[in-house]
């Protein structure tokens, strides 16, 4: 007999930016992408969404009023370690951002200004979703040993 067909759950990407024009542009430009898209105008709103929705990737602007995107991703990493984080920034030379990249605290930095299709923004977000999928397979296939190893390395 035929085995059950596995259904792949649609992934969700949360975009965070305090600029409505950027969020609307992302919403329109990513309309054809296969993942679910959520949008937040502040870090506080993003954290509220994370409490009620299953999110797999967070793409955030670096400079926002109440906290930086990097601060947001550090909170996300502590509370939701499985979520893949990406930062949009016009300040690639920012020391804290470079350190976070070097330490693997964020998956990718997307430089500003960008235009959908020009920097291949869509491909970068798709890669983050793929990274999430691979990360999950590693954890499932090794019975949690990967997370145990990561914890030992952090100690």
pLDDT digits (tens, 9 = 90+) for 51-99: 999 999 999 999 899 899 999 999 999 999 999 999 988 766 677 878 8
CA–CA separation, 123 vs 82, rounded Å?
20
What is the dotted CATH code of the domain comprising 12-154?
3.40.50.2300
For the entire predicted model, the pTM comes to: 0.79
- Tell me how far CA of residue 40 lies from CA of 30, 45, 46, in angstroms: 15, 6, 5
Residues 40, 57: contact at Cβ < 8 Å? no
Q: Tens digit of pLDDT for each residue in 87-143?
A: 988 766 677 878 888 888 899 888 776 666 555 788 889 999 999 988 865 443 344
Cα-trace Rg, the chain? 16
- At 3 the pLDDT is 56
Distance CA 149, CA 155 (A): 10
pLDDT computed for residue 121 by the predictor: 81
pLDDT in tens, 11-63: 999 999 999 999 998 999 898 899 999 999 999 999 999 999 999 999 999 98
């Amino acid at each position: 007999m035929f085995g059950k067909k596995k259904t792949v759950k649609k992934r969700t990407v949360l975009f965070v930016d305090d600029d409505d024009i950027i969020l609307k542009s992302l919403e329109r430009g990513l309309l054809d992408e296969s993942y679910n898209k959520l949008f937040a105008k502040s870090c506080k709103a993003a954290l509220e969404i994370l409490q009620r929705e299953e999110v797999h990737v967070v793409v955030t602007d670096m400079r926002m009023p109440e906290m930086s995107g990097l601060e947001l991703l550090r909170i996300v990493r502590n509370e939701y370690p499985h979520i893949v984080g990406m930062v949009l920034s016009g300040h690639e030379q920012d020391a804290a951002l470079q350190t976070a990249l070097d330490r693997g605290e964020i998956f990718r930095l997307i430089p500003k200004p960008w235009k959908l299709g020009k920097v291949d923004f869509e491909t970068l977000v798709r890669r983050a979703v793929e990274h999430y999928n691979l990360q999950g397979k590693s954890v499932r296939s090794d019975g949690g040993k990967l997370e145990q190893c990561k914890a030992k390395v952090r100690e």
